[in-house]
Structure 1
Amino acid sequence: MSDSSSSSSFGRAVLTAGATLAGTYASLAAARWAYRRTLPSPLSLPPALDLEPRPVETPDGRAQCYVRPGTGPPVVLLHSFNAVASSREMQPIAEHLAATTDRPVYALDWLGFGRSDRGPRTYAPALYERQLYHFLDEVPGAPADVVALSLGGEYAAQVALQAAPLVRRLVLVSPTGFAPTQGPSTPGRLGLALADHTGTFELLYHRLTRRASLRDYYARQIFLSPDAIPDALLDYAEQTAQVRGAYRAPLRFVDGTLSVPNVSDDVYARLYRPTLLLTPTTPGSTVQSFERLPAVLSQNARDLSHQALPGGLLPHWEAPAPFFDALDSFLDLH
């Protein structure tokens, strides 16, 4: 075959492949546009907690918080980050505080989750640190006891380190940042970037956040006992995924860019507010590991304390009695 024939054949193959890819991309774009039109606003979600819902204007958008007025040091609850995160994750803690104390209680939906704004923006640690700093500075009116779950604890600790007068004490429930490595590999990030660019991630996100898939996720990675998975958590998790923009912040969570770099040594080990770390006695098959926890505790023995609890990564749902014993004692709630 001549060079010109080979070149012509190659050109036709490239054009054919290009046309196929363009057609696939156009089909995905059309499907994504059509599906978006069926989705309601995040504010269409019912309140996650039986507390008064209030909007909070932040430098990066409007957030939702839930409030129970009271007296004494305020308590601020911060949910985790995952595909279907919201303040519903903190429901047992909010109900316990409302029933057993007179403290002011606040729960905050992070931007990109729950009933907070989920518009297009750069979801990154700096955004969430700004959101939390603004909230603590403007809303509670006094230094707060902050109870944060999973990755939310990284931002709570960062703000407590940088703006200590806003924080009285910290409780970090199943905090992230203690594993040897964080986030997906470079090929994984590249794959996610491609899936985002083509719209595949958005479509898959809405398919994979149906109730059956969520139950499987909780059973494999969050709860040690599948029988402990509450319907209230599953119901709201499925609802919170089916609103406009729901996939945006979870994409950044999945690709690992929401983690604070070297948080264990640069943040946790340097905290100078009393901080209680609550982790599973036996993490088992859960998605998190706490291998670096002993080293961090030894670096900051004065301000960090640790208690291992039965259950998985949501002990306030799976093993509430020992969880609330630890919480009440540390925050002087008795």
Structure 2
Amino acid sequence: MVSSVPQPPTLLSSLSSTLSQAGYQRFWYWRGWRIRYWFHPGPPEANLPPLLLIHGFGANLNQWRHNLPALSRVAPVYAIDLLGFGDSEKAATLYGAELWAAQVADFIQGVIGQPVALVGHSLGALVAMTVAHNHDNWVKQLALITLPLEGNREDLVAGWIAALSLRVESLVANPLMMRSLFALIRRPGFLRRALAGIYTVADRVDDDLVNLFVLPTGDRGATRTLCYLVRSRTTLSFSPSVKDMLATLAVPTLLLWGDQDRVVPVAQSQGLVDLSPLLSLEVLPGVGHCLYDETDADFNQRLLAWLRKS
């Protein structure tokens, strides 16, 4: 079923952020599952294709709180919650790059209705690349903010939290213990410390940022979905080969990486530009995994400049 309908505000969409005033939030139904998205039509004179932004693991479209309003001043802009995240349905299913790519491709065709410039962060970059690989006729340009090469657990979290994710895997088969651990993980103080280990700009770890990670964990089925997500990420079928997809790029692609990234280290970018003449790499000094948020004005400017010249 493909439909797009307004619905009453949810906890995430009611956050006191600029997103609720800067654009429109709707729900779209895909394969019977509820999917949240944000959009702004952009200015009448826009000469760029629509932009579609895809968030990273554990996040949601609110992660683009400092980007969507600025980008929508020059182009039509959309952002989407991947299935299992944000205000999208916490589906009881195995997840993977191919499933999310199918969701995004159907959204482009059914809701946007024309080829887009795809922008993805981390897990979202993996999904965006998979969309471009499978449906290159619907993607005009591709911008990737860090790219986990194997789509595995290093994209989950940083530092001491990463060790905990290994423990989570061993608890998936024990629902009681999983619920207890999830109750710990969803605490605002716990998530604030985790985010402080990822961000290089400390004042960006504010209450709005913490809440955009906390609120979805209260949704019905959230604990069960975490089990499916963890189990899915350990399977060989979670993602196609990233290097194979890079080697067959059909659209201009920008890869942005922070040299202080503690989640997916910049060393992983070595040799990637040799895989395709359509791929360009920019390493940004002094910023980390969430460079789009840590230095949003610089990111917005770089992205738009590249979109205009590509």
The 1:268–1:157 alpha-carbon spacing in structure 2 relative to 1, beyond 3 Å, is: same
8 Å contact 2:117–2:140 — kept in the other structure?
Answer: yes
Superposed, 1:81-230 pairs within 5 Å as 81-82=57-58, 85-98=59-72, 100-101=73-74, 103-177=75-149, 192=169, 194-220=171-197, 222-230=198-206
Question: 1:252, CA displacement in angstroms?
Answer: 4.2
Contact 1:43 1:115 in 2 (8 A): no
Q: Quick one: structure 1 residues 179 and 58, their matched pair in 2 at CA, closer, same or farther if it must change by over 3 Å?
A: closer
In structure 2, the residue matched to 1:45 is 11
**1:173 Cα shift?**
1.1
Aligned residues of 1:55 and 1:64 also touching (Cα < 8 A): yes
- 3-state SS of paired residue (2:271): helix
Report if aligned partners of 1:174, 1:314 keep a CA contact under 8 Å in 2: no
Which of 241, 246, 256 is 1:278 aligned to? Answer: 256
CA distance in 2, matches of 1:280, 1:124: 25
Aligned to 2:212: 236
* Separation of aligned partners in 2, 1:227 and 1:191: 29
Q: Secondary structure at the match of 1:331?
A: helix
Counterparts of 2:264 and 2:101 in 1: how far apart (Å)?
22
Relative to structure 1, the CA distance from residue 179 to residue 134 in structure 2 (aligned partners, 3 Å threshold; closer, same or farther) is closer
Query: Could you list the per-position Cα deviations for residues 197-222 of structure 1 after superposition, in whole angstroms to 9, with x for gaps in the alignment?
Result: 333223321321211111110111x2
Describe the shift of the 1:316–1:181 C-alpha distance in structure 2 as closer, same or farther (beyond 3 A).
Answer: closer
In the aligned structure 2, how far is the partner of 1:225 from the partner of 1:172?
21
CA distance, structure 1, for counterparts of residue 202 and residue 62 of structure 2:
19
1:77 matched to 2:31: no
Q: Deviations for 1:103-135, whole angstroms, at most 9, x for unmatched residues? A: 221110111111111132222333212211111
Q: 2:283 matched to which residue of 1?
A: 308
Aligned partners of 1:43 and 1:116 also within 8 Å: no
In the alignment, the residues of structure 1 paired with residue 31 and residue 191 of structure 2 have an alpha-carbon distance, to the nearest angstrom, of 32
Compute the TM-score of the two structures, normalised by the length of structure 2.
Answer: 0.81
RMSD, aligned α-carbons: 2.8
Q: Name which of structure 1's ranges 241-250 and 149-158 shifts more when overlaid on structure 2.
A: 241-250
SS of 1:133 mapped into structure 2: helix
What is the identity, as a one-letter code, of the residue corresponding to 2:281?
H
How far 1:277 moved relative to its partner? 0.7
1:275 offset after TM fit, Å? 0.8
After superposition, the C-alpha distances for 1:80-123 in whole angstroms (9 at most, x for unaligned) are 112xx11111111102112x31x221110111111111132222
Matches of 2:145 and 2:227, distance apart in 1: 23
**Following the alignment from structure 2 to structure 1, what is the Cα–Cα distance between the partners of residues 247 and 65?**
29
From the superposition, tell whether residues 191 and 55 of structure 1 become closer, same or farther in structure 2 (CA, over 3 Å). closer
**Structure 1 residues not aligned, in runs of 5+:** 1-41
Q: Percent identity?
A: 27
User: Normalising to structure 1: TM-score of the pair?
Assistant: 0.75
Corresponding residue to 1:326 among 290, 302, 307? 302
Secondary structure in structure 2 of the residue aligned to 1:212: helix
Contact 1:146–1:171, Cα closer than 8 Å, also in 2: yes
Segments of structure 2 that go 5 or more residues without pairing to the other structure are 1-7, 157-161
Within 1, Cα distance between the matches of 2:265 and 2:257?
A: 9
SS at match of 1:121: coil
